[in-house]
Structure 1
Amino acid sequence: MERMPIYGPFAKYYEEIYSERPYQKEVEFIESMLQKYDLEGRILDVGCGTGQHVKLLNEKGYYVMGMDASEEMLEIAQENVKNVEFFKGDMKDFTTSETFDTMLCLFTTMHYNKSMKEVEKTLRNFYNALGRKGIVIFDISLTEDVRGGPSLHVHADDTLQIARVGLWRPRGDVMHAKFLFLVKDQEGMDFEVEKHVLGLFNLEQIKEVMEKIGFQVKMYQDFTLEAYSNEAHRPVFIGLKNIKE
């Protein structure tokens, strides 16, 4: 996985930038899947970031580990959840000394695969990291039909102000994203420009790759128990390994 700039010098602002993200709702969905498929809850969160999902799952008593490509993010995650093991790794090329019954890959993490070939490699790694049976859960936010354009995010409190302008330009099978950050805190002001290249995916192709690997595929929307219906909703993929319904 290529190093993602926001997960470097600006990693300390990640939680403020995404403070409105519904972590609790997503964890409740994950827990519902564990219960549905009668899984113990040995979980590896791939692309764990600052460990927000890991923290909530750990508090619920599940055995959780976190993996990320960014040392800066992992340092923050370890501070947030001191009794959990975090390690550095690339989702396209990793092995673990133990197996899990649940693999997570949430938010935009899957999009750092820039082709279906890379998606397949990542999903095979997930399949191999699962034990005799288990599930993989990941969501997709960028499809091949997405349009480019600007975005704006602002965070402000008594000690910190952040403005982030995003410029999104689809080119072929990838999205070129440029983020402009202006940060003002007690130490002064800072300005940073980041560039990301994210894969754009066809949902049917993802399903075909998952089935090729050996997963039975289910799709939900927006981290609810409603079956995925159309592009107005965020698709959440569930891959079942050796689980019959």
Structure 2
Amino acid sequence: MIPSQERNTNHDAIASIYDLKSPLERHDIVLECIDKLILKNIPEEAHIFDLGCGTGQVAQRLIKRGYQVTGLDSSEAMLNIARENAPNAEFILDDARYFKLPPTFHAVISTDVVLNYILSTEELENAFQNVYDALLENGIFAFELYLEELCESNWKNNESGGGVKDDNVWVDIWSYDQNIKIGRKDTTRFELINGNWQRLDRSFFLKAYSAAEVKIALEKVGFTEINIYDINRDLEVKKASETACIICHKPQI
């Protein structure tokens, strides 16, 4: 397990409101994509690795379908909630850039643009290598990603958002540096604790990769049959965000 100072632990601060911030139907949309592109091509009761599993919402949906699921996340607070949401899954506290697992899984998924939080192509390639090593031969890797070609116009709009609940109020403010292709989300949260409102501020950074950068990194570690789908246009998924789904395979040696 990687020490906390080397893991990205920013999401600990918003773990308890993560499911409030992200509507639960979004996870059903993710499962719809997974169903179309992966589940029909792996064995029944296959072992699936959920990289950046968050609060375990997707893991629990897969378990209900009869699959074995192991989830990994760098946020211990997220995993504490995931263990409640998906008690029959196995969860690992580690970082996508550093984890090491033997070839165990028929498929690896990464949803909710987790890999955009990796801010350099070198570290993204490291994550791809770790996934490759964890897959069985003929295994499938599928991940959701903001691609520069799809998202950059939206990021430039500096859109903001937020929400209000009985004991939580939060605001997200977006900005984008086109020169380095880094989006920044500044989150301010007010939480009612013992009758007093407490403030917390966190900044989250996401890298907009081009399709070419992603494909080159995947090929360098050995992935083949790389396909990139626009979730809205190519997969016809309603109410999806401006993301892509990238599918690739670990070949049989």
- Normalised to the residue count of structure 1, the TM-score between the two structures is 0.85
Compared with structure 1, are the counterparts of its residues 39 and 14 closer, same or farther at alpha carbon in structure 2 (3 Å cutoff)? Answer: same
Q: Which structure 2 segments of 5+ residues have no match?
A: 1-5
Partner of 2:54: 49
Partner of 1:168: 175
Partner of 2:231: 222
Distance 1:25 1:150 in 2: 22
Count of residue pairs brought into register by the alignment: 237
Of 75, 79, 97, which aligns to 1:74? 79
Aligned-pair distance for 1:3? 2.5
Look up the equivalent residue of 2:23 and give its one-letter code: S
State how 1:87-236 maps to structure 2 within 5 Å: 87-97=92-102, 99-141=104-146, 143=148, 145=152, 146-147=155-156, 149-156=158-165, 159-170=166-177, 171-184=179-192, 187-212=195-220, 213-222=222-231, 226=235, 233-236=242-245
Distance 1:172 1:195 in 2: 17
Distance 1:28 1:149 in 2: 29
Identity of counterpart residues, as a percentage? 24
Of 64, 67, 86, which aligns to 2:69? 64
Compared with structure 1, are the counterparts of its residues 28 and 223 closer, same or farther at alpha carbon in structure 2 (3 Å cutoff)? Answer: farther
Look up the equivalent residue of 2:227 and give its one-letter code: K
Look up the equivalent residue of 1:169 and give its one-letter code: Y
Aligned-pair distance for 1:92? 1.0
Aligned-pair distance for 1:190? 2.4
Distance 2:28 2:210 in 1: 28
Compared with structure 1, are the counterparts of its residues 187 and 60 closer, same or farther at alpha carbon in structure 2 (3 Å cutoff)? Answer: farther
Distance 1:19 1:187 in 2: 27
Q: Secondary structure at the match of 2:32?
A: helix
Compared with structure 1, are the counterparts of its residues 97 and 208 closer, same or farther at alpha carbon in structure 2 (3 Å cutoff)? Answer: closer
Q: Secondary structure at the match of 1:9?
A: helix
Alignment RMSD? 2.6
Compared with structure 1, are the counterparts of its residues 242 and 97 closer, same or farther at alpha carbon in structure 2 (3 Å cutoff)? Answer: closer
Compared with structure 1, are the counterparts of its residues 185 and 142 closer, same or farther at alpha carbon in structure 2 (3 Å cutoff)? Answer: farther
Aligned-pair distance for 1:187? 4.2
Distance 1:224 1:39 in 2: 28
Look up the equivalent residue of 1:190 and give its one-letter code: Q
Distance 2:234 2:139 in 1: 19
Partner of 1:17: 21
Q: Which structure 1 segments of 5+ residues have no match?
A: none
Q: If each structure's helix is expressed as a fraction of its own residues, which one has the higher value?
A: 2
Distance 1:4 1:112 in 2: 11
Distance 2:53 2:143 in 1: 12
Compared with structure 1, are the counterparts of its residues 223 and 79 closer, same or farther at alpha carbon in structure 2 (3 Å cutoff)? Answer: farther
Distance 2:86 2:163 in 1: 27
Look up the equivalent residue of 1:28 and give its one-letter code: E
